[in-house]
Amino acid sequence: MADSVPLVEYHGNCHCGAFKFTFTAPEITQAKTCDCAICFKNGYISEQPSGDSFTVVKGDENALISYEFGKRMLAHKFCPTCGTFVMGRWKIDSMGKAAVINIRAVQNLDSTKLPPGDVFKGSDFGDAYQPPAAVPTGPVPEGSTAYHGSCHCGAVAYTLHNPEAITSATDCNCSICWRNAAVWIYPQTTQLTFRGVPDAVTEYMFSSHKAHHCFCKTCGVSVYTYFTDFERMEGKTALNLRTVNGFDLGSLTVKKGNGRELKPLYEVPA
């Protein structure tokens, strides 16, 4: 009889610490992803716990916001306070109604060092994703490029008039940006026209409270961040390029931001 695969106990939490969990699984050695629209916008890296090992140690799974769409085979669950997508829960018997963990929320696991793993073809299930209608604006300034984006459900949408084609962005590894898988550009706020703001978003702040991280109340997608009392970012909005519909992130030159080392260092809330 073959030796069983040894299991590792992992601990995780949403950013604000309202929801904490543990699970066991074989050592995570690959970054497993999915090609569907919601997983792309959220940058999920997933792992399915062994058996029924997933355990909530703080908070309540039912207090997470559950987002479903299409054939409603999977409930995507995020914290209503900080917007961290911590897990999914299968709703079909063939999958055993098992939990799927977003390992971006797992503590002490540097998933930036994991090689790419299997890609789940979520795009094969149901109809192809249809982005919401573009946000109407005035004429596009000469020489500018118009980009249209949204959260997944469409409650939050925008049009960006960028002076040139977008060719570069910043991937920050700080505690909140990494959980949100955000890929940032920093246009002038006047270049953006939003729909659904502020009514359809939740703002989350921490530490200095200068950055207002804004995610959709319904589907949880992190769309943008605006700033107060932050001279370097005055007049600018951080825009998550994962939310630009039809945009090819692979075409970008990506600068790695080391926000993880900025003080005060992030500590898991008690």
Q: What is the CATH number of the domain that holds 58?
A: 2.170.150.70
137 inside domain: no
Identify the pLDDT of residue 181.
97
Domain residues for 57? 7-122
Checking if the pLDDT of 183 tops 60, the result is: yes
Identify the pLDDT of residue 3.
60
26 inside domain: yes
**Residue 170 to residue 149: CA distance in whole angstroms:** 18
Same domain, 112 and 71: yes
Q: Does an H or E element contain 19, and which?
A: none
What six digits make up the tokens of 262?
């900025």
178 inside domain: yes
2 inside domain: no
134 inside domain: no
Same domain, 86 and 154: no
The count of structural domains within the chain is: 2
135 inside domain: no
Identify the pLDDT of residue 96.
73
Same domain, 178 and 229: yes
Same domain, 167 and 235: yes
Same domain, 74 and 153: no
131 inside domain: no
Same domain, 151 and 116: no
What six digits make up the tokens of 170?
């910043």
Q: Are 160 and 77 spatial neighbours (Cβ–Cβ below 8 Å)?
A: no
Q: What mean pLDDT is predicted for residues 238-254?
A: 97
The per-residue pLDDT for range 82-116, each reduced to its tens digit, is 999 999 999 887 777 789 999 999 999 988 899 99
The per-residue pLDDT for range 107-162, each reduced to its tens digit, is 999 888 999 999 999 888 888 999 999 999 989 999 999 999 999 999 999 999 99
Cβ contacts of 235 within 8 Å, gap of 6 or more: 188, 189, 190
Identify the pLDDT of residue 265.
94
Same domain, 63 and 171: no
The amino acid present at 71, given as its one-letter code, is: K
Same domain, 57 and 118: yes
Identify the pLDDT of residue 71.
86
Q: Which of 45, 48, 55 is nearest to 25 (CA)?
A: 48
CA angle 100, 154, 45 (to 5 degrees): 25
- Residue of higher predicted confidence among 93 and 36: 36
Same domain, 239 and 176: yes
- Residue of higher predicted confidence among 93 and 45: 45
Same domain, 156 and 218: yes
Identify the pLDDT of residue 1.
41
Same domain, 98 and 44: yes
